[in-house]
Chains A and B, each alone.
Chain A
Amino acid sequence: MNKHFLGDTAVLLGRSLRHISRSPDTIITTAVMPIAFLLLFVYVFGGAIQTGTDSYVNYLLPGILLITIASGISYTAFRLFLDMQGGIFERFQSMPIARPAVLWAHVLTSLVANVISLVVVVLVALAMGFRSGAGVLAWLAVGGILILFTLALTWIAVIPGLSAKSVDGASAFSYPLIFLPFVSSAFVPTDTMPGPVRAFAEHQPVTSIVNAIRDLFTEQPVGADIWTALAWCVGILVVAYVFATVSYRRRIS
Chain B
Amino acid sequence: MLAAMSIPATTSQGQRPAIHVQGLEKSYKELRVLRGVDLAVARGSIFALLGSNGAGKTTVVKILSTLLRADAGTALVNGFDVATQAAEVRESVSLTGQFAAVDEILSGRENLVLIARLRHLRDPGVIADDLLRRFSLTEAGARRVATYSGGMRRRLDIAMSLIGNPPVIFLDEPTTGLDPEARIEVWQAVRELAEGGTTVLLTTQYLDEAEQLADQIAILHEGRIIVDGTLDELKRLLPPAEVEYVEKQPTLEDVFLTLVGARADKEQR
Contact = CB atoms under 8 A, between A and B. Distances in A.
B69 interface: yes
B110 interface: yes
Contacts of B206: none
A252 B117 contact: no
Interface stretch (A84-92, A112-120, A141-149): A84-92
B67 A94 contact: yes
Contacts of B118: 8, 11-12, 92, 95, 97
Interface in B67-117: 67, 69, 87, 90-91, 93-95, 97-106, 110, 114-115, 117
Nearest to B66: A94
Interface residues of B, number: 31
B101 A86 contact: yes
B67 A86 contact: no
A203 interface: no
B94 A87 contact: no
Contacts of B93: 94
A12 B114 CA distance: 8
A96 B87 contact: yes
B204 interface: no
A22 B120 CA distance: 26
Contacts of A22: 105, 144
Nearest to A22: B105
Contact of A18 (B67, B97, B110): B110
B119 interface: yes
Nearest to B64: A94
B101 A87 contact: yes
A131 interface: no
B85 to A, nearest CB: 12
A232 B122 CA distance: 44
Interface residues of A, number: 23
A95 B99 contact: no
A88 B101 CA distance: 4
B48 interface: no
A53 interface: no
A7 B106 CA distance: 20
A92 B65 CA distance: 11
Interface in A1-60: 4, 7-8, 11-12, 15, 18-19, 22-23
Contact of A86 (B66, B87, B99, B110): B99
A195 B114 CA distance: 56
A192 interface: no
Contacts of A95: 90, 94, 115, 118-119
Contacts of B99: 86-87
B160 interface: yes
A18 B105 contact: yes
A15 B114 contact: yes
A148 B117 CA distance: 30
A162 B13 CA distance: 38
A166 interface: no
A91 B99 CA distance: 11
Interface centre among A92, A96, A97, A252 (most CB of B within 10 A): A96
B82 to A, nearest CB: 11
A4 to B, nearest CB: 6
Interface string A53-95: 0000000000000000000000000000000001110111111
Given A11-B114, A97-B118, A253 B90 contact: no
Interface of B: 62, 65-67, 69, 87, 90-91, 93-95, 97-106, 110, 114-115, 117-120, 144, 157, 160
Given A15-B114, A88-B102, A94-B67, 13 more contacts: A8-B118, A12-B118, A15-B103, A18-B110, A86-B101, A88-B101, A93-B66, A94-B65, A94-B66, A94-B90, A95-B115, A96-B87, A96-B119
Interface of A: 4, 7-8, 11-12, 15, 18-19, 22-23, 86-88, 90-97, 252-253
Q: Which 3 pairs of residues, A with B, have the shortest CB-CB distance?
A: A87-B101, A91-B101, A87-B97
10 contacts: A18-B105, A19-B106, A23-B105, A86-B104, A87-B99, A88-B101, A88-B102, A94-B90, A94-B93, A95-B118
